[in-house]
Amino acid sequence: MPSIKSILTDIQTLPLNQVEELLSYLEEFLVSNSQVEQIYEDVKEFRFSKGKVCPHCSSELISKNGKYNGKQRYICKDCKRTFTDFTNSAVYRSKKSLDKWLKYAKCMIMGLSIRKSAKIVGINIATSFFWRHKILDCISAFLGTGHVDGLIEADEVFFAENFKGTKTINMPRESHKRGKSIKKRGISKEQICVATALDRQGNLIIEPLCKGRMTYKELENLYKGHIGENSILCTDSHKSYIRFATDFNLDHKRIKTGKHKEDIYHIQHINSLHSNLKRWMGRFNGVASKYISNYMHWFKWLKIFENDKDSIKTKNFIVQSNVVYAYTKVKDFKLRTLQFV
């Protein structure tokens, strides 16, 4: 091993641009190492904030069971199974180190492609794909549907159905090359309807709901229990919202198409959210519809935490994707289908 003294002597012989390169490498190295430590602590704290429970059977009869690869192991006295602080989290069963996942999280926050992220992190493209969706499955579970309150704007946004990655001999038609958005006029069953609701505190609900136009029933199923009492609902003239607002006792402001901002009741925030969402989705070159909810939750996460510093974002993204028990096996991805048909 070279001594620190000889390294320091060597550094003095390097051209300035390489010294700068070295400096940024060291900075990243130090930040990443301290973040990895912090992630272990945060995940433990989050997961077991109400005492340690077994991730397999939820029993509280737990005892320590030695260490494995430097990680504390536990055993459940009820189901006799062992677990660690990361069992059934996004990184569970990964042979790669946590700092690679951290680097990957950084790529996701920047919205880089599967290919580009693979190259930066040093993993293959298939792994890059699975990591993206393992993380997003967990982030989706972590975020849940959410809750909106007060002055709420609600509207739907549509994405062309896309069969990418679905192997079937009876494909209904050619899949769209890009996830083109479609004007509301002429909505058909070939479009995925994503319901969105945004309040003025920035709370957001964004969930794929159905194919084609939504019905009252679908609207009710989504929002029941997720909208604050005495809220004011601003929507366009879609009929389903009228009954919904009546049944849920909400004050309803219907905004006519093309009408401009009039005092505080408008749907301009949700309209601009839709434009941002479509622009952001454009970068992915067509998203398979069976994964659309993961993309919606990814966008939601970025929106909710947009004001955080990048280093905090990266750390929290990984912490949150390891707090919930939502581990997906590779073979489960192959079997995945669209949640509604």
- Our finding on whether 55 is near Zn ion (CB under 5 A) is no
CB of 61 to Zn ion, least distance (A): 8
Query: For Zn ion, which is the closer residue by CB, 55 or 179?
Result: 55
Tell me the H-state helices in the chain: 4-13, 16-47, 98-110, 114-121, 125-143, 216-223, 240-247, 268-282, 292-304, 310-320, 330-335
71-79, 175-183, 228-236, 300-308 -> range binding Zn ion (CB under 5 A)? 71-79
The answer to whether the CB of 87 falls within 8 A of the CB of 55 is: yes
The answer to whether the CB of 53 falls within 8 A of the CB of 67 is: no
CB of 83 to Zn ion, least distance (A): 8
- Our finding on whether 57 is near Zn ion (CB under 5 A) is yes
- Our finding on whether 61 is near Zn ion (CB under 5 A) is no
10-18, 38-46, 75-83, 291-299 -> range binding Zn ion (CB under 5 A)? 75-83
Of 179, 193, 147, the C-alpha closest to 339 is 193
Dist. CA 128–CA 115, nearest whole Å: 7
Query: Which of residues 31, 44, 53, 59 is near Zn ion by CB under 5 A?
Result: 59
CB of 63 to Zn ion, least distance (A): 12
CB of 46 to Zn ion, least distance (A): 20
- Our finding on whether 56 is near Zn ion (CB under 5 A) is yes
Q: Angle 125-143/292-304 helices, nearest 10 degrees?
A: 60
Other CB atoms within 10 A of residue 110 CB: 12
Is residue 73 classed as helix, strand or coil in its secondary structure? Answer: strand
CB of 62 to Zn ion, least distance (A): 8
Strands in 82-83's sheet, in edge-to-edge order, are 62-68, 71-76, 82-83
Residues touching Zn ion: how many (CB under 5 A)?
7
CB of 77 to Zn ion, least distance (A): 8
CB of 92 to Zn ion, least distance (A): 16
Residue reference for tokens 């190295």: 29
CB of 65 to Zn ion, least distance (A): 12
27-35, 44-52, 70-78, 201-209 -> range binding Zn ion (CB under 5 A)? 70-78
Query: Which of residues 39, 54, 151, 318 is near Zn ion by CB under 5 A?
Result: 54
34-42, 79-87, 107-115, 280-288 -> range binding Zn ion (CB under 5 A)? 79-87
Query: For Zn ion, which is the closer residue by CB, 84 or 196?
Result: 84
Query: For Zn ion, which is the closer residue by CB, 77 or 178?
Result: 77
Name every residue whose Cβ is closer than 8 Å to that of residue 273 and which is 6 or more positions away in sequence: 196, 198, 204, 303
- Our finding on whether 76 is near Zn ion (CB under 5 A) is yes
Query: For Zn ion, which is the closer residue by CB, 63 or 337?
Result: 63
- Residue 252 burial by CB count (10 A; 0-12/13-18/19+): exposed, middle or buried? middle
- Residue 187 burial by CB count (10 A; 0-12/13-18/19+): exposed, middle or buried? middle
55-63, 126-134, 170-178, 226-234 -> range binding Zn ion (CB under 5 A)? 55-63
Footprint of Zn ion (CB under 5 A)? 54, 56-57, 59, 76, 78-79
